[in-house]
A and B are shown apart, each in its own frame.
Chain A
Amino acid sequence: MLFRPACLSSNNRAIVRAPTPRPATGPKPARRAARSATDEAVAVRPVRRGDLDQVIALDATVTGLEKQSYWRAVYRRYGAGLHEHRHFLVAVAGKRIVGFLIGEVRDWEFGSPPCGWVFAIDVMPEARQAGIGTQLLQAVCTLFRREGVRKVRTMLSNDNTLILSFFRSQGMMAGSLIPLEMDLD
């Protein structure tokens, strides 16, 4: 497969996971917590080399693994605005990186006309439920539109309900592609 979800943890789950078990009902403490974590206005911009340490720390918080060399390689491939159709965006509150998203336009893969792929998104756990993921996704969609694509896709583990719910809340639905896999002996 040419499309490789670059941000997988060691147990092959997508990078973003539920921070805590979700209560089915009850009040909404998450939004209040998120506000206190992001009192400053959040801006989305392309990643800079100086952001990498915070991105690596954020990823380590979520996945439990610090992957220095991996992230430096991702930065070379997607960062610094050096690559057409490749986007590595960060959400910044003051000087703090509170989220990031990586995506790119892929042409004619999986038999599909050019479309945008989002293959990594993460928001600092205490800053979730404050619209930062939405800001990141909208930013990359704006870039994708400018690049002429009219469809955006993503792929993640079917038990990652938190992030599945996020993408669905943005209007994403199951698409025409079916992911298949098998174990290699």
Chain B
Amino acid sequence: MPRGDARVKLQKNTQLALYSVLEFAADPMRHIAAATIAEKYGVSQHHLAKVLSELARAGVVESVRGVGGGYRFAGNLRRLTLMDIIRLFEPDGLGTEAEPTPSGNTPVDLALDTVLSEIDQFARATFSSITLATMLRLMQRQQKAQSPAVTAARA
């Protein structure tokens, strides 16, 4: 789950969708049972089913019936961005950790609104420019960077 110091707060379903999509995207030909993902991320299958159903409705994943069934990736790794997934679950926009501002029209309200909009704009630009393919490469780099440290710690 996201680090505690992250500024942008994604809803739980959005986080779960991102984790699930990246699981599927890492090996697009592989079928993964919903139960496997639910267990890995410690969520109920019922909760995950709603998320996967939304992803399937959007054509990001497709369900595979029969033995060894489950879901598999159905999108385009080089085109689908994090924002495309986020938008499915947060159509009203990104939330931030800041408390909602009073809906007044005082100079303070308006100035604060300007500042929060700036943050929102950068967050959107970031999520919109990171494709799943880029995200998978980033994950690989993180894994490589961690490997020597893990090896050193074990030695």
Contacts and interface: CB of A to CB of B under 8 A. Distances in A.
B115 to A, nearest CB: 13
- Which size bracket describes the interface of A in this complex? 10 to 19
A24 B126 contact: no
Nearest to B60: A25
> Max chain B CB contacts within 10 Å: which of A22, A25, A158, A161?
A25
Contacts of B129: 161, 164-165, 167-168
Given A169-B137, A171-B137, A28 B131 contact: no
A26 B75 CA distance: 6
B121 interface: yes
B130 A165 contact: yes
A24 B134 contact: no
B10 interface: no
B134 A165 contact: yes
A165 B80 contact: no
Contact of B59 (A26, A161, A164, A169): A26
Interface in A128-147: 129
A22 B133 CA distance: 15
B128 interface: yes
A24 B125 contact: no
A159 interface: yes
Interface in A11-30: 22-28
B79 A24 contact: yes
Contacts of A158: 121-122, 124-125
Contacts of B81: 161, 165
A129 B58 CA distance: 24
B74 to A, nearest CB: 6
A23 B126 contact: no
Contacts of B124: 158
12 contacts: A23-B79, A24-B58, A26-B75, A27-B76, A28-B78, A158-B121, A158-B125, A159-B125, A161-B81, A164-B125, A168-B131, A169-B78
Given A24-B59, A165-B130, 19 more contacts: A22-B79, A23-B76, A23-B79, A24-B60, A24-B75, A25-B58, A25-B59, A25-B74, A25-B80, A26-B59, A26-B75, A26-B76, A27-B76, A28-B78, A158-B122, A165-B129, A168-B130, A168-B134, A169-B134
Interface of B: 58-60, 74-76, 78-81, 84, 121-122, 124-126, 128-131, 133-134, 137, 141
